[in-house]
Structure 1
Amino acid sequence: MELSRRQVLAAGLATLGGATTPVARAQGYPNNVIRFIIPTPPGGGHDIMMRLVGQKLTERLGQPVIVESKPGATGAIAAQTVARAAPDGYTLLLAYSAFLTNLLLLPKPGYRQEDFSTVGMLALTPIALGISENLAASTLRQYVALAKTRPGQIAYGSYGQGSGGHFVGELFNMAAGIETIHVPYKGEAPALQDVIGGQVQAVCASIGGTKRYQGRIRTLAVASAERSPSYPDVPTFAELGYPGVDMPGWAALMAPAGTPKAVVDLLTKEVNEIVLLPDVKAKIAELGFDTVGWAPGRTQAFFKEQLASSEKLVRSGRVKI
């Protein structure tokens, strides 16, 4: 007798082991639409990535996976939505750097880190400094020299107040001893367009975003420990003399706290396998994201390191909301 898809799924859950697997089977997970809540506007890199992941997850689990955009409040609205959702595995959050920095910057972010179970880290999203091709600088050294002659006159955009781009911009200001002005935008796309349009002279955004506009935006450096595999021609800040400017962006999947472990384990397994599939990995790389597929433990250790680095910058008073 041919096994039904539900029987195959149940057998797959059983391989995860532990006393929690009957809970997932009793729930019949999944038997409903799964929602990815993202904190960024439609059409951006995170949206495209999660639609790719959602399509593959739909094929694997046999239930529709949809992406819902809830931008605003530097990602706090999306996080609040998922924190308050039923812990059943049907409402998941794509978290990025502001998920943690909101806890340091907002007096009432409306959620706690403890309100979530970690599913895993999907990708690192290297943050780069890009400048207008019309600016009289072609290297990071020349940009620093120019900024020192024009304190408070050069503006850089980012994809939001308290965003990873904002943190990288201020880390670099502090490391280089320059004063450039931060201009926050509601997402990466408008920040990049305003560099092209001349409203701001620089931008701290995903490396995929800045490299998308070669000829109009010059990508000077990336704020990661190593060069991006997707864009190996872009040096790190450390290579250029600024080792302290190391704060990669990231994209992690989170579930509401209390979601059954068997459900979280299933999602971790499926999603991490999906982002490492050659075709998915290649498409996500085009967005400037480097897929990693980290398990919850490694992801949580990364969160701890990022919080420590962010707290130092907040205490310095350079990043405020």
Structure 2
Amino acid sequence: MTHSRRHALATGLGLLGASALPAFPLAARAAPGYPDNVIKFIIPTPAGGGHDTMMRVIGQKLTESWGQPCIVESRAGASGAIAASAVARATPDGYTLGVGYSALISNLVLQPAQQPYKLADLAPISMLALTPIAIGVRESLNVRTLDQLVALAKSRPGKVSYGSYGPGSGGNFVGELLNMAAGIDTVHVPYKGEAPALQDLIGGQIDTAVVSLGGVSRYPGKICALAVASPTRFPLYPDVPTFAEAGFPDVNMPGFGALFAPASTPKAIIDKLDAEMARIVKLPDVAPKLLELGFEPAGWGPQKLSSFLAEQLALTQKLVATGRIKV
């Protein structure tokens, strides 16, 4: 990473008043015998969804390993801000942890004054999994590659539409990244969730949708997946290229599910949780379950997770500064 790039990322984090990695007090020590109580995972999405299922699978393995119960509590709402705030205010003892996803960052850029948390309130533990975002087109559009879609959009400026699962969502960001990278002008149509966007795509009300890879791949013969906004192809859909492979390396903004603790949680506890998360998500009876949910197991530690957050923050700020993303 160049000096200017490092400076840009540091400046971006400074605008939010904090680094993605908290400073641990020198006197911080893991509580003797940790864990000796129930561990609670707070998720930012409704019960029964992908994050809920993922954390129940991981929690079961953690219980088997550590002998302590793990519970999952949903604090859905406000694009994840309610859950993030609950984790930030919890006692930093390793017994209340939280899952964050892309809105954890976009909230702070789009509506900073309204957020009850900041990145400095959270200690990164582990990148559990990446959740790929993809672009899909309706079959009747007669487009089979990203190059063909770009050519069509250039021939019909302001006429080709893309749906997403909401304004300021990961799909919205990826759609606008493609507009910028390809020099095209496709029109964003936000929906209240992925399902209605896909139904309108099939029905012909919109031309493309930028949602989960699993979503656009769920309807063969009706929707054609063109590219995924992740560093690598997703194992379950190896025929779908990345945007980089299709000629647009700047369109790289995967969704994610990461584990956090309250700031000032002792480093020894963070390290213990990090090691266990890295082990669990790669287990042969866990990794396939996560893939089926649309999650690609990662198991990154605090440093790599922090670097990822900084890069995504800089990219988010760049997009918002263009005025393309509006809530």
TM-score bin (small chain): 0.7 to 0.9
2:109 to 104, 109, 119: 104
Shift of 1:198: 4.2
Instruction: Give the structure 1 partner of residue 5 of structure 2.
Output: none
Q: Deviations over 1:152-190 (max 9, x none)?
A: 444323233322221111101122222223233444344
Amino acid at match of 2:103: A
1:171 maps to 2:177: yes
Q: d(CA) in 2 for partners of 1:302 and 1:167?
A: 16
Instruction: Give the structure 2 partner of residue 196 of structure 1.
Output: 202
Q: d(CA) in 2 for partners of 1:214 and 1:171?
A: 26
Amino acid at match of 1:311: Q
Shift of 1:21: 5.6
Checking the alignment, whether the CA contact within 8 Å between 1:44 and 1:189 is kept in structure 2 is no
Identity rate, percent: 60
Q: Which consecutive unaligned segments of at least 5 residues does structure 1 have? A: 1-17
Instruction: Give the structure 1 partner of residue 88 of structure 2.
Output: 83
Q: d(CA) in 1 for partners of 2:178 and 2:64?
A: 43
Within a 5 Å distance, the mapping from 1:253-292 to structure 2 comes to: 253-292=259-298
Within a 5 Å distance, the mapping from 1:203-218 to structure 2 comes to: 203-218=209-224
Instruction: Give the structure 1 partner of residue 10 of structure 2.
Output: none
1:227 to 201, 226, 233: 233
Amino acid at match of 2:40: R
Change (3 A) 1:183 1:74: farther
Instruction: Give the structure 1 partner of residue 7 of structure 2.
Output: none
Q: Deviations over 1:192-218 (max 9, x none)?
A: 344334443322222223223333321
Shift of 1:19: 8.1
Q: What's the TM-score once normalised by structure 2's chain length?
A: 0.83
Amino acid at match of 1:305: E
1:293 to 289, 299, 302: 299
Checking the alignment, whether the CA contact within 8 Å between 1:24 and 1:260 is kept in structure 2 is no
Checking the alignment, whether the CA contact within 8 Å between 1:209 and 1:287 is kept in structure 2 is no
1:244 maps to 2:258: no
Checking the alignment, whether the CA contact within 8 Å between 2:31 and 2:93 is kept in structure 1 is no
Checking the alignment, whether the CA contact within 8 Å between 1:72 and 1:186 is kept in structure 2 is no
Change (3 A) 1:84 1:160: farther
Instruction: Give the structure 2 partner of residue 129 of structure 1.
Output: 135
Q: d(CA) in 2 for partners of 1:296 and 1:288?
A: 23
Q: Which consecutive unaligned segments of at least 5 residues does structure 2 have? A: 1-25
Instruction: Give the structure 2 partner of residue 148 of structure 1.
Output: 154
2:312 is paired with a residue of what secondary structure? Answer: helix
Q: What's the TM-score once normalised by structure 1's chain length?
A: 0.84
Instruction: Give the structure 2 partner of residue 119 of structure 1.
Output: 125
Checking the alignment, whether the CA contact within 8 Å between 2:176 and 2:324 is kept in structure 1 is yes
Q: d(CA) in 2 for partners of 1:43 and 1:88?
A: 27
